[in-house]
Amino acid sequence: MRGVVIHPVRAAAVLSVAVWLTACGSDAPNAPLAPNTPVTQPPPPPAPTVVGIAVMPDSAGMRLGEELILQTVMVTSNGSRITVPGISSTSTGLPPSYSAYPYGILSIGANGRVIAVGAGTANVIVHYERMVAHGRITVAGPVATNAVGLKIESFTMWEYQWEGTWYYAPQLDVSAEGPQAITVLTVTFQIPGLPSPFPSWDCGARVPGGSSRALNGEVYGSWSFELLSPGNRANGEDATATVWFLDGSGAIGSKRVTGRVAAGWIPDTYSGGQSGGACFHGYGSPG
């Protein structure tokens, strides 16, 4: 029986072919594709989705009478933020709504304008499309308590009834007696015959020196500020208003005035947010 003979030349050739095949196999991913072979692309990343909202700034410090504009942003799944538009003539849908508690620290409008009206720390709450965001604002106390310059021109508490509820709309006009502007911070009320205390009227009205302002006004056919009493009616005695204000030096002070409770009614105009009185900061651009 003949043995198997491996010729050196033939063995070298076989080894060379084996090495060539191995090298080609390692480069297979870079080898050219056959004509008309479809190229498989990886799936695109998912579009970012809104996961919540945030208010900016979410923490701030203010001085009495100082103003701040809040913004609401939508937070997406990839970390980006999209500014939520406020109220304008071209906006659609409901804008963010802003509120603050406790009362007596911030005057806050529907357009995000905030005016510091009392010392302390207030929690800001923003609602938008079933989402909620929170912030905190701290207002420093006054530099002094001997403010001057406010004059109360007139005060009457208008009373009317609507669907079984008694409404009380203060008609309060004030002026800045001297050349410096003043800021009406808050107003509190006592109405004989009604339980008290009522929530403060967080006003934030700026009154230029030498001018007067009506603090309350009409907003879409309603008073911008009213007190509601579902079960009781005033007993006819005079109401009392206490007005806290800030003068140009940074000092605060207060003045108290009494006025009769008189028969009134809802406003007879419907001018939107343009005639809401000096304490109204709600609609339109915050400029």
54 pLDDT tier (thresholds 50, 70, 90): very high
How many Cα atoms within 13 Å fall on the side-chain side of residue 169? 24
Q: Which helix (H) or strand (E) holds 25?
A: helix 8-26
What domains appear along the chain, each with residue ranges and CATH number? 50-139 (2.60.40.10), 150-263 (2.60.40)
Structural tokens at position 79: 């970390």
Looking at residue 151, its pLDDT comes to 97
Looking at residue 2, its pLDDT comes to 43
Q: Is residue 204 helix, strand or coil?
A: strand
Tell me the per-residue pLDDT of 151-174, one tens digit each, with 9 for 90 and over. Answer: 999 999 999 999 999 999 999 999
Structural tokens at position 254: 């207060």
DSSP-derived letter for residue 23 is H
Least confident of 5-14, 33-42, 216-225: 5-14
Task: Report the alpha-carbon distance of residue 169 to residue 244 in Å, rounded.
Answer: 18
Looking at residue 146, its pLDDT comes to 94
Looking at residue 20, its pLDDT comes to 41
Looking at residue 33, its pLDDT comes to 58
Looking at residue 19, its pLDDT comes to 39
Task: Report the alpha-carbon distance of residue 121 to residue 137 in Å, rounded.
Answer: 6
DSSP-derived letter for residue 251 is B
How many of the other CB atoms lie within 10 Å of CB of 90? 5
Contact residues for 61 (Cβ-Cβ < 8 A; gap 6+): 137, 138, 139, 140
Tell me the per-residue pLDDT of 103-147, one tens digit each, with 9 for 90 and over. Answer: 999 999 888 999 999 999 999 999 999 999 999 999 999 999 999
231 pLDDT tier (thresholds 50, 70, 90): confident
